[in-house]
A and B are shown apart, each in its own frame.
Chain A
Amino acid sequence: MDIEIPYNVKEREDTGLYNSKLGIWLFLASEIMLFGALFSSYIILRTGDPHWMLHAKQAHLNIPLGTINTAVLILSSVTFVMSWVSLKLKDLDKFKMYMGITLLCSVVFLVIKYFEYSAKFDAGHYPSTHNFYAVYFTMTGLHGLHIIGGIIVNAYLWLPGAKMWETDPERFTNRIEVAGLYWHFVDLVWIFLFPSIYLL
């Protein structure tokens, strides 16, 4: 039933891109606007509330855990690139290894997040307590949802989706490249989110 869509794998000459790469960058452009709106709202809420720093200091956000999470996500980014490199070098086993590490790092990130969130709830700090927490939970929460989305896609590409390597290796490699762009973006958001909320 599949109609052959041109430039699905081969790049179009004048744009130099294949379809899904253009598609993912467009999607990322909209994600830039989403997180941009969230950051903008954060600035507005923070500068409009003289009590903000009081609650921020009281919150005792776990900087060591946040730092570990930052490192974990950066590690997952480089292992994702390496999984793509492995496919370019025609090494499926290395791909599986690196993608496996990426997935492991992603899960570790979520587990650490779980510990952070429960500690807050145990201390009686909920999103409704004060806007500092509302912003903290909402922004890290939405970011976390994006991580989960990435895990689902990456897990699919790691196991059942990897079958495409046998029939259409170039198209599969492109899929990994495109999924990688999404994953790096999620890492990029955290790179800004972590200092903005935990440190500054």
Chain B
Amino acid sequence: MTHDNHQESFIRKYIFSTDHKWIGIQYGVTSMIFLLFGFALMIIMRYQLAYNANTGLEKDLLSPDMYNALGAMHGTIMVFLGVVPMIVGAFGNYLVPLQIGAPDMAFPRLNMASYWAYFIGGVVMLSSFFIPDALPAHSGWTSYVPLATLSSGPGQTFWLVGMIFLITSSLLGSTNILVTIIQLRVPGLTWMRLPFFIWAQLVTSFLLLLAFPPLEAAGIFQLLDRVIGTHFFDPYMGGSVLLYQHLFWFLAHPEVYVLILPAMGIVAEIIANNIRKPLWGYKLMVYSSIWLGFMSFIVWAHHMFLTGMGTTMSSFFMITTMIISVPSVIILSALLMSLWGGSIRFNTPMLFALSFLPMFAIGGLTGLPLGLATSDIHLHDTYYVIGHFHHVVAPGTIFAIFAGLYFWFPKITGKAMNEPLGKIHFWGSLICMNGIFLPMYLQGLAGVSRRLANGGYDYAHAKDVLYLNEIMSISAFLLFAFQLFFIVNFFWTLFRGRYDNETDTNPWKSTTIEWTETSSPPLGHGNFEVIPNVYRGPYEYSVEGREEDYYPQTEE
């Protein structure tokens, strides 16, 4: 492939780039900053929960409204500005074309537009912290009406406007990923030869495409209620409060599968590579992820069991919720069973990927009493819920993110991160994550509600579990400290790092196209010197009769 060697301006090359690799890096860097910021908000909150006027301080650090603002923004930032842009925008954009042999995404300019829509949405959300004499949105990341409609100050309006930009970004991005995967696979790369990561991104993009619009409608209704005084959600004027919840959760439930599927994709790639044998049950995993994606659209009201739905609707959603646990267990089990008989390498990415399995298992299992309407009556809106969903996303998805960052760092930069630092980062994070979230189940079972600005000190039923607040907060502070090992490692490797075998573009000895057919980093213009052809499946490790223990997809 010949290219003109005209010099691109700095702006065209680094700001308004249409190269999926650079856009992936833009998404990655931006989302990492948001993840850190969202984490910092929680650190402040956890300080208040452990040390407030009830525990001996002169006065609370945060007023209840301030606490709620931090809480609402923590959730919003982590989900919409941190995790999803990282696993879909960064990992998806960077890796999808490379893993399928494409020169770029199907619509490079649309890709650029989707990043900048995300960026603007992020700026709008962040700017809500700087409104004079007013707080950012403080009605939960869920923005339930009537609280959100009536909330004081423009913070909530900023939230709604920010969400519109983020939803737009998501829409453009998911369309791009879908067309890319469907249309740009190289010859020989049939559906059942795709890396599981690609299948995960495919299903995820369908979820984003079809589930976000109802939230867009809900956001528009709420915006109009706030700004021009309509009564969509006002029961005194014929509106419906619960309409908002149905529209919100219609998105927000598929959204949690958006949070977990790409993570499973990342984990699958890393486990396959580090067991030096094929994944067990690849086809089963593929069909399960499709089934999971489909079912995710018909379980949403399990978030609404306490709204007086009536037994027919509750039963329906409870049954679908129980059914949806099956495909997720299948995927997890397949990954677990793949380990049997494997030649396991315990490098940093593999440690994070392996720990995903029990962490997601805990998160998933604790979801069951929430999905059963009867037990949910006791557990709804308690700390049990917070423990459940954090276990899946924090030592779940975020560990998958770290696994992916350590794993693909050599491909993206041509340098390898430091292993000892990585292992310290891993063990410290694993222990601290559980130190934060395991006690939450105990508090929730005791009946401690979520979103309490001082951690439950006003409630008699919380008395026996209050001591856990300090334990959780200290775990959180330590978790923050352990991230320094990652941050230092990241920048040190980037700027001073040793070149880990400059000519070795496949240090992990992987079979997939992004490792075997590209330089590290891949070529700026079109990724591949020669368009590869694919001859076999993605996980041909330890094939009999071969000298090497891996058989690349593209080798003839």
Contacts and interface: CB of A to CB of B under 8 A. Distances in A.
Direct contact of A and B (CB under 8 A): yes
Nearest to A21: B179
A89 interface: no
Contacts of B108: 3, 5
Q: Please list the 4 inter-chain residue pairs (A to B) with the smallest Cβ-Cβ separation, ordered nearest first.
A: A49-B238, A34-B213, A37-B214, A128-B229
Given A45-B238, A134-B224, A22 B230 contact: no
B238 A131 contact: yes
A5 B231 contact: no
B231 A22 contact: no
Given A26-B209, A27-B171, A41 B230 contact: no
25 contacts: A1-B6, A3-B108, A4-B526, A5-B103, A12-B183, A22-B178, A26-B175, A27-B175, A33-B212, A33-B213, A33-B214, A34-B214, A36-B214, A38-B217, A44-B243, A45-B232, A45-B239, A52-B238, A128-B228, A131-B237, A134-B224, A134-B230, A138-B220, A138-B221, A138-B230
Contacts of B230: 127-128, 131, 134, 138
A142 interface: yes
Contacts of A15: 182-183
A1 B209 contact: no
Counting chain B CB atoms within 10 Å of each CB, the highest count among A5, A15, A48, A127 belongs to A5
B213 A134 contact: no
B239 A131 contact: yes
Interface string B208-249: 011111101110110010001111100001111001000100
Contacts of B224: 127, 134, 138
Contacts of A142: 220
Contact of A26 (B179, B216, B229, B243): B179
A88 interface: no
B213 A37 contact: yes
Interface string A74-99: 00000000000000000000000000
A contact face: mostly helix, strand, loop, or mixed:
helix
B217 A41 contact: yes
A41 to B, nearest CB: 6
A44 B246 CA distance: 11
A23 B212 contact: no
B107 interface: yes
A33 B171 CA distance: 12
Interface residues of A, number: 39
Contacts of A23: 106-107, 175-176, 179
A31 interface: yes
Nearest to B297: A33
A163 interface: no
B247 A130 contact: no
B104 interface: yes
B525 interface: yes
B317 interface: no
Contacts of B237: 130-131
Interface in B134-184: 171, 174-176, 178-179, 182-184
B239 A34 contact: no
B12 interface: yes
Interface of A: 1, 3-7, 12, 15, 17, 19-20, 22-23, 26-27, 29-31, 33-34, 36-38, 40-41, 44-45, 48-49, 51-52, 126-128, 130-131, 134, 138, 142
Nearest to A131: B238
Given A15-B182, A130-B237, A130-B238, A4 B103 contact: yes
A26 B178 contact: yes
Contacts of B106: 5, 19, 23
B258 to A, nearest CB: 14
A30 B213 contact: yes
A37 B250 contact: yes
A3 to B, nearest CB: 5
Contacts of B526: 3-4
A45 B184 contact: no
B548 interface: no
A19 B107 contact: yes
B458 interface: no
Contact of A22 (B8, B183, B217): B183
Given A12-B183, A27-B175, A131-B238, A41 B243 contact: yes
Contacts of B232: 41, 45, 131, 134
A37 B107 CA distance: 28
Contacts of A19: 106-107, 179, 183
Nearest to A39: B217
A144 to B, nearest CB: 13
Given A15-B182, A29-B209, A37-B217, 13 more contacts: A3-B526, A5-B106, A6-B184, A20-B107, A23-B179, A26-B178, A30-B209, A30-B213, A45-B240, A49-B239, A127-B230, A128-B228, A128-B230
Query: Which of A51, A127, A134 has the most chain B CB within a 10 Å cutoff?
Result: A134
